[in-house]
Amino acid sequence: MRLLRYLLVSGSAALMAGTLTLTTGTGVTAPPQASHVAYPARVLSAARASLAHYLRHYHPQAMLAGHARAGRNGITAMPSYNWSGYADGASTTPAGTFTAVSGSWTAPGVKCGAEDEITVDWVGLDGMFGSGSLEQLGTLAWCYKGSPFYATWWEMSPTGKGLIEVGTTLQPGDRITASVTRKGAKYTLKLTDATNPANSFTTKQTCPTTTCLDTSAEWISERPAFNIGITPQAHYNAFDLTNGAQTSSGAPGTIGSFSTVNEITMIDATQAYNLNDVSSLTSENSFSTTWQNSY
């Protein structure tokens, strides 16, 4: 018994459904695959099929827990069941405020045990405060039968086709830079793997301004949520985000330069302990999250 053993049943009918696409999605420009050491085809196929099953009902929104409170250095402290990191914006932020978000990190490695676990790291727009939309991209680590599998991916919700896996040769230590930029209803999602360019991609998407509201910008380490609960978080070494930037109301800035900054800490279902530790911001644009517990 693997992942389902530790799913935390939420019973919420409001969670949004999605799918995992296991090949490069429509509109994506990806470099040719480089030669690499791969798992046997049957193992890789089984791992992807299992991941697709779990992500069929992926819920790409923040599941906030409890009430926000005053945090350190004038930043709002926000508990969440499935996100950790930082987000700019508030429930009162006007639609269309953000037009860009970006950041860099080194793809974390994960330590796998017998249970199936997932962790995803990304930058994106929306997803907070009930916006109902999210435009994101990043890296993913999936523990399947004791072995780690890594990938790059992107997601547009609710206008896209679910979570789209692109690069399957990602390895821990790969140097990643990712960005989402918007002009009107047109979005460009770009990820560069400087270590292994085969995992890099650029995709152009559209979303009506009445649907994708762009009221927040995020830099997040996540354990995915589904309509039946939340996956255990894979034991990753660290998510070290640098060069975190956003453009809001036409002005470029950092994570810490926006008027409302939220430090998001992932907590367990009982709200008794943290699943991640989140550091304070350095130079307003860098921070790290570290694993504490899986569930």
Per-residue pLDDT in tens (0 to 9) along the chain, 295 residues: 333 333 333 333 222 333 333 333 445 444 333 334 456 676 666 666 666 666 655 666 778 887 777 777 789 999 999 999 999 999 899 999 999 999 999 999 999 988 889 999 999 999 888 778 899 999 999 898 888 999 999 999 888 777 888 998 999 999 999 999 999 999 999 999 999 999 999 999 999 999 999 999 999 999 987 766 788 999 999 999 999 999 999 999 999 999 999 999 999 989 999 999 999 999 999 999 999 999 9
Indicate the SS3 state at residue 56. Answer: helix
Could you give the CA distance from residue 146 to residue 233 in angstroms, rounded to a whole number? 14
Could you give the CA distance from residue 179 to residue 163 in angstroms, rounded to a whole number? 16
The CATH number given to whatever domain includes residue 24 is 2.60.120.700
Domain extent for 200? 3-291
Domain count, the chain: 1
Could you give the CA distance from residue 211 to residue 157 in angstroms, rounded to a whole number? 9
3-state secondary structure 220-274: EEECCEECCEECCECEECCEEEEEEEEEECCEEEEHHHCCCEEEEEEECCCCCCE
Could you give the CA distance from residue 120 to residue 112 in angstroms, rounded to a whole number? 15
| Total-model pTM | 0.85
Quote the tokens at residue 153. 């991916």
Long-range CB contacts for residues 247-252, cutoff 8 Å, separation at least 24: 247/98, 247/99, 247/100, 247/101, 247/181, 248/88, 248/97, 248/98, 248/99, 248/217, 249/97, 250/99, 252/100
